[in-house]
């Protein structure tokens, strides 16, 4: 709950500062990444253009399978 509140707060602060983020799928397309690598409900993110570091905030547990690997992402 606190991580989704924190990411929502960051989004609101950026909106008030006039720094609106483009939708996550648009950012991924811009860097030739598949838009399906994150769940649709993962809309809040931080992207550092200088380093290329992308941090995506996922509000609930997300399981990803890729044969033979298995990943589980969970909120902080």
With 70 as the cut, is the pLDDT of residue 7 above it? no
What's the rounded Cα separation, in Å, for the pair 40 and 48? 21
Structural domain including 57 reads: 2-73
Is pLDDT larger for residue 47 or for residue 73?
47
How confident is the model at residue 37, as a pLDDT? 82
What's the rounded Cα separation, in Å, for the pair 5 and 22? 20
Number of domains in the chain: 1
Q: What is the mean pLDDT of residues 49-69?
A: 78
What is the 3-class SS of the chain, one letter each residue? CHHHHHHHHHHHHHHHCCCCCCCHHHHHHHCCCCHHHCCCCCCEEEEECCCCEEEEECCCCEEEEECCEEEEECCC
Q: What is the mean pLDDT of residues 4-13?
A: 64
Q: pLDDT digits over 9-26, tens only?
A: 666 666 666 567 888 999
How confident is the model at residue 74, as a pLDDT? 60
């Amino acid at each position: 709950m606190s991580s989704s509140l924190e990411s929502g707060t960051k989004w609101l602060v950026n909106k008030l500062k006039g720094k609106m983020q483009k939708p996550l799928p648009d950012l991924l397309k811009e860097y030739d990444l598949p838009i399906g690598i994150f769940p649709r409900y993962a809309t809040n993110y931080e992207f550092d253009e200088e380093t290329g570091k992308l941090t995506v905030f996922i509000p609930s547990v997300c399981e990803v399978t890729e044969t033979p690997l298995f990943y589980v992402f969970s909120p902080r």
